[in-house]
Amino acid sequence: MSSVEEFRTEIRGWLKTHLSGSFAALRGRGGPGREHEAFTERLTWERHLAAHGWTCVGWPKEYGGRGASIAEQIAFHEEYALADAPARVNHIGEQLLGPTLVDHGTEEQKARFLPPIRAVEELWCQGYSEPGAGSDLAAVRTRATLTGGRWVVDGQKIWTSLAHEAQWCFVLARTEPGSRRHAGLSYLLVPLDQPGVEIRPIVQLTGTSEFNEVFFDGAVTDAAHVVGAPGDGWRIAMATLGYERGVSTLGQQVGFRRELDALVALARRNGAAADPDIRDRLTRAWAGLEALRAGALRGTDPSAAKLYWSHWHRDLGELALEVCGPAATLAAGAPYELDDWQRLFLFSRADTVYAGSSEIQRNIIAERVLGLPKEPRP
């Protein structure tokens, strides 16, 4: 048995043993559009993972990880999804900020921030998008000034996932007055529990609130809490986005597979599969998911992968409502109770917008991958 197979067997057995008792009820809970589900209980579960060494498996051992290879990380995320384990609450700290600090942080930053992330004692959110600077991230207007040994931050962030549950935010802010676009930005680590921070949840189409507006009005953080050099924030921010689209997406695809299998089963039960058009679209969805997995294993360009999976998932949501029939247009109960298929349809509309809209991804692919002329700008 290879080391990867041994690793896969180990995590599969651990999940079978531990995802039981009080944790058994958490199977399938949480995830996009459902982050409100059993959040406190999922946090307890994730701390249980940490206590047994199953968080941050890809981090180097010197920082509390297992030093797992890429193949072992793939095995972990796939087995976690196959076990129908609850959605993780610490993804942003573990998968985004943690690797950023490992590669770009100072030793002092690593010593201060990595252990609480690994132990799931401090949760993080991502302060990138702003009104007027969503996919055009270089248009950031939030500013920070170094005064008396502290950064003073003023501005607004939006679409900040789980900010209402987080204790810290990594914030992209303009720290050089008069700078434009990618220049003069810094990557700051800012505590949220302070008078200069206001967090306002945003109600989504699903009726829930998992992302927020965050307002900084004289919020402060230590001068040493800048990752990389001041003014080098764009490079660090792009590194974080690269980690965001890493091997954990293979676990996401297991979730997609579960949704597709459930939809095929529904189409067979309610007779929708008798419609040739529905059968054809279900077949195309299956083929698309196979292509998605093959691309992920081969190492498809991150922008191409994001463009492909987001449209695949949005199309699956549209297909789900057609399989369900006219009754899918009615809420399951008052005042706004949605079933899983309705929630999939509504939340998957956001897939092609968050983490870089499809329009921006196409520009990136055209200009940076294919080498085509840049789009004319005013």
Secondary structure (H, E, C), 28-56 = CCCCCCCCCCCHHHHHHHHHHHHHCCCCC
Q: Sort residue 84 into left (φ over 0), alpha (ψ -120 to 50) or beta.
A: left
pLDDT in tens, the chain (378 residues): 679 999 999 999 999 999 999 999 999 898 877 888 999 999 999 999 999 999 999 999 999 999 999 889 889 988 998 899 998 999 999 999 999 999 999 999 999 999 999 999 999 999 999 998 777 788 899 999 999 999 999 999 998 999 999 999 999 999 988 888 889 999 999 999 999 999 999 998 888 888 899 999 999 999 999 999 999 999 999 888 877 666 656 667 878 888 999 999 999 999 999 999 999 999 999 999 999 888 877 877 778 888 999 999 999 999 999 999 998 998 878 888 888 899 999 999 988 988 778 888 898 888 888 889 987 776
What is the predicted pLDDT for the residue at 1? 63
C-beta of residue 185 within 8 angstroms of C-beta of residue 148: no
Q: What is the pLDDT of residue 247?
A: 63
* Segment 250-268, tens digit of pLDDT: 667 878 888 999 999 999 9
Query: 130, 244, 290, 375: which one is catalytic?
Result: 244
pTM of the model: 0.87
Do strands 185-191 and 168-174 pair parallel, antiparallel, or not at all (unpaired)?
antiparallel
Measured CA to CA, the distance from residue 360 to residue 273 in angstroms comes to: 36
Asked about 244 being catalytic, the answer comes back as yes
Q: How many residues does the chain have?
A: 378
Q: Residue 66 is which amino acid?
A: R
In the chain, % helix, strand, coil (3-state, to 5) comes to 50, 15, 35
What pLDDT score does 31 carry? 81
Distances (CA, A) of 180 to 141, 170, 284: 10, 20, 45
How far is CA 341 from its chain centroid?
Answer: 21
pLDDT digits (tens, 9 = 90+) for 8-50: 999 999 999 999 999 999 998 988 778 889 999 999 999 999 9
Which residues lie closer than 8 Å to 102 by C-beta, 6 or more apart?
A: 59, 60, 63, 110, 114
